[in-house]
Chains A and B, each alone.
Chain A
Amino acid sequence: MSATMTRGGALTGTGILLGLALRRDRIKLPAWTLIIALFVPYFATVAARTNPTPEALRRTMDMMDVPMLRLFTGPSYGTGDLTVQRYLIAVYFVEFLLGAALMNILLIARHTRAEEQSGRAELIRAAVVGRHAPLTAALLLSVITTAVLAGLMTVTAIGAGLPAGSALLFAVATAATGLVFAGVTAVSVQLTEHARAAAGIAGGVLGVVWVIRGAGAVQDTEGGGLTWLSPLGWSQLTRVLADERWWPLGLSAALTAVLVTAAYALAARRDLGAGVVATRSGPASAPGWLRSPAALSLRLQRSSILWWSGSLVAGGLVFGALAGSMRDGLATDFLDAGPDVLSGYLSLMVVGMSFIVGIFAILAVTRLRTEEVRGRIAPLLTTPTSRWAWLGSSLLVTAAAAVTLLALSGLALGAGAALSLGDGGYVGELTGAVLARAPEILLLLAITLALYGFAPRAVAVAWAVLAYGGFVRFWATDLPAALKALSLFDHIPRMPIEGFTPTPLVTLTVLAAGVTLLGLYGFRRRDLDG
């Protein structure tokens, strides 16, 4: 074979593959870019509406300038001479960076590893298509999509009142983060054989650099040394609407180039369908304890439970540790906490933890649905395992895991608070406060299960139950009592700011038991899918 043939070959077919990718994502990508871009005027409008006067805007901004909230928004610039536009950039920039990063993570994983995993890439690569064509097409798709996003955001940012130059810098800085994560994902899809794991690795990287950026913002309002270690930070360090500068984006471009080069190098070293990290073989026979539906359920959920535990413990420690900066920081009305700011903050964190465990509970039931549709429970139910036994034991494992997660996050939150406040009493108090919320999670779990039992296609409705609870809890505290009562999450007292009362706990637990029985009954009488 001649050298020219080899060289031309590696990218042959890229154009056609790019066309195919554009065709496949013709709805998805316009939707992603448009929705992200439309959040610019949306956030600007929200900021202007909720802060009708410059004084109100000033007050809100001052309230947000505490380490705990800078962790989520910062760093921020030029807020001394505050405008709605500067407020927009100071508070919401990170959300746009996350949006652009997520879009690119999912895009690259979908068009590279997911194709290999499904076997479609084999069909493609057997045609006249070069070795590097699929990755190149995916990266080009990411560049095109991100450029479109930057264009749209420039327009919407100008619409929201930014000067054209600042709007462009804001949009390009967002795009730069997006492309860094296209690069991160281009590497992670080479490592594992599974698209979901690859996206998970990239998402994990995103989480880590988010925290590093935030930690830098906690160090200093305008970003401390740590901010310089995060690609998200680089985009923010362009100081949009303050003394603007483009050069930090050079760091993003350089990192993207390094990552893409690494991705091609790794891709050249591996076989189609294989990962750089080889799949290990496992035991030839099952351990002795794997002999019941409950044991299987635990085995299948094991790694998920461990991940959740780790994340909740880490989150709990961080949020608990921030309690120390709360005493002198946050305005009282922001947390709806009355005079006791610290208790208000801690009770808010307690409620937040229980919502996160609620996500775990819903996902666990959604997984049962996946097991069913994929045809993995028919083999179990054609053994002497009854439907009651299978669903009941899956439910028990999930319920026990949810309560354990609550306990762990309460312990972590309490430990963090105890360390930062120097009062060991918080450990017990906050663990109790989070555990007291278990009945609402159990009821949420029961409702999800009942949906699964009676209307398996509608399991997703459970998300609406959780979202409504969050909406009432965090944003619509002025709703009429009857509407508030509909939320599962508005009955158990918010400790430590409110005192303990046992009645709602008992009521919700009894309700949960009843709805669970109903769900089991529903599952017993319906046809199995898949």
Chain B
Amino acid sequence: MTPAIETSGLVKTFGPVRALDGLDLSVGSGEIHGFLGPNGAGKSTTIRILLGLMRATAGRATLLGGDPWSDATALHRRLAYVPGDVELWPNLTGGEAIDLLGRLRGGIDAGRRDELIAAFQLNPTKKGRTYSKGNRQKVALVAAFASDVELLILDEPTSGLDPLMEAVFQEIVAGLKDAGRTVLLSSHILAQVEKLADRVSIIRQGRIVQAGTLAELRHLTRTIVEAETAAPVTGLPALPGVHDATASGARVRFSVDAEHLDAAVKHLGAFGIRALTSHPPTLEELMLRHYGNERHYGNEGHYGDGAAA
């Protein structure tokens, strides 16, 4: 299947700053693709290039088989975009903005529009300047979801939404997936991406540092094992691929590289296993391995969501 989005060696510089530094991103047709990275990694710059709002300094980008810069108008018939920080016209109501954007995109399904407004509990009669952040976000989401397009580019689309609305959002995106639409979902709400995404690309300092299905990514990382044994476990730290082993009495906890899991569990068996739990790494743990020493995510309120998932 031809990819919906394909970039190779994408570079964008702003004066001395190299915002994108050879970015290779591939999004298959019909997939929900999570686009993850800390603030300032280049997510929005990538998206702005894909939308033809900016021109890449070097490299190639293909969107739905066309060039995002020179074929912008034709391509925009087939996509919808939700920015992470929606600005509305101060003296147009939310309903007017939704209709306008829908009409400019070639028509709006009035029934679907009203359904979405109801689902998101949006009051469409308020003026743009009086909406809160979350409500401005809802306006852009309704406008995007009400139009019948192949590709949705969502740049941190749910910032400012409460958990109930977040659930509505996930339900709608899951519906889009069933309808065969492609979604590029830039986010740092890890729980959202884990729930929705087929594949994930992790961006750091303008490059994709990891890409694949969640299963593939997890395979690259460690499984957490907790066990209670009849006799205290010894010799665990010496095993290949075992990390961060801690023991208190009959309980041990450690993480182990995927290819050494088998050996580690066999080792435990010798001490008489009474209880054993293991869980694959969460996306949060994946991200921490990439950014752990930078603490980029330390400030993000959403981070806890990932741990809970």
Contact = CB atoms under 8 A, between A and B. Distances in A.
B101 A284 contact: no
Interface in B94-143: 95-101, 103-106, 123-127, 129-130, 140, 143
A378 interface: yes
A402 B93 CA distance: 27
A457 interface: no
A290 B140 contact: no
A279 B127 contact: yes
Contact of B76 (A299, A382, A527): A382
Contact of B103 (A193, A291, A527): A291
Contacts of B85: 375
Contact of A382 (B53, B55, B106): B53
A273 B251 CA distance: 57
Nearest to A528: B53
Contacts of A287: 96
Interface residues of A, number: 34
Given A375-B87, A379-B81, A528 B48 contact: yes
Interface stretch (A51-59, A216-224, A253-261, A383-391): A383-391
B291 interface: no
B92 interface: yes
A368 to B, nearest CB: 13
Contacts of B93: 281-284
A194 B76 CA distance: 35
24 contacts: A281-B126, A282-B95, A282-B125, A283-B125, A284-B93, A284-B124, A285-B95, A285-B96, A286-B92, A286-B96, A291-B100, A291-B103, A292-B104, A300-B92, A375-B83, A375-B86, A376-B87, A378-B53, A380-B101, A381-B52, A381-B76, A383-B76, A384-B74, A385-B104
B51 interface: yes
Contact of B95 (A286, A291, A303, A378): A286
Nearest to B48: A528
A110 B177 CA distance: 49
A527 B105 contact: no
B127 A291 contact: no
Nearest to B88: A376
Ranked nearest first, the 4 interchain pairs of A and B with the lowest CB-CB distance are: A286-B99, A282-B93, A383-B104, A281-B125
B110 to A, nearest CB: 8
A375 B81 CA distance: 13
B246 interface: no
B53 A374 contact: no
A384 B100 CA distance: 12
Contacts of B73: 384-386
Given A283-B96, A291-B103, A382 B79 contact: yes
A434 B74 CA distance: 43
Contacts of A292: 104
Interface string B233-263: 0000000000000000000000000000000
Nearest to B139: A379
Contacts of A193: 130
A290 B99 contact: yes
A293 B104 contact: yes
A285 B139 CA distance: 12
Contact of B100 (A290, A381, A525, A527): A290
Given A383-B104, A525-B55, 19 more contacts: A194-B129, A279-B130, A281-B123, A282-B96, A286-B95, A286-B97, A286-B99, A287-B96, A291-B104, A374-B87, A379-B83, A380-B104, A382-B80, A383-B76, A383-B105, A385-B76, A387-B72, A528-B48, A528-B53
A386 B89 contact: no
A272 interface: no
Interface of A: 193-194, 279, 281-287, 290-293, 296, 299-300, 303, 374-376, 378-387, 525, 527-528
Contacts of A282: 92-93, 95-96, 125-127
A293 B101 CA distance: 10
B106 A384 contact: yes
A289 to B, nearest CB: 10
Interface in B140-181: 140, 143, 153
Contact of A384 (B76, B87, B91, B92): B76
A358 B140 CA distance: 36
Nearest to B49: A527
Given A384-B73, A527-B55, A528-B54, A379 B95 contact: no
A376 B89 contact: yes
A256 to B, nearest CB: 32
B218 interface: no
Given A285-B124, A376-B87, A383-B101, A290 B96 contact: yes
B77 interface: yes
A7 B36 CA distance: 54
Nearest to A302: B91
Contacts of B79: 382
B1 to A, nearest CB: 24
Contacts of A384: 73-74, 76-77, 104-106
Contact of A527 (B54, B96, B125): B54
Contacts of B95: 282-286
Contacts of B105: 383-384
A169 to B, nearest CB: 45
A279 B129 CA distance: 10
Contacts of B124: 284-285
Nearest to A280: B127
A378 B51 contact: yes
A527 B53 contact: yes
Contacts of A296: 89, 100
Nearest to B84: A375
Interface string B41-55: 000000010011111
Given A281-B93, A283-B95, A528-B48, A381 B53 contact: yes
Nearest to A526: B55
A384 B149 CA distance: 12
A303 B91 CA distance: 10
Nearest to B69: A525
B72 A386 contact: yes
B122 to A, nearest CB: 10
Nearest to A296: B100
A370 to B, nearest CB: 11
B68 to A, nearest CB: 11
With a 10 A CB-CB cut-off, give which of A374, A380, A387, A527 has the most chain B CB atoms. Answer: A527
A303 B83 CA distance: 28
A374 B80 CA distance: 19
A386 B79 CA distance: 14
B125 A284 contact: yes
A303 B51 CA distance: 32
Nearest to B14: A527
B80 to A, nearest CB: 8
- Which of A374, A381, A382, A527 lies at the interface centre, i.e. has the most chain B CB atoms within 10 A of its CB? A382
Contacts of B100: 286, 290-291, 296
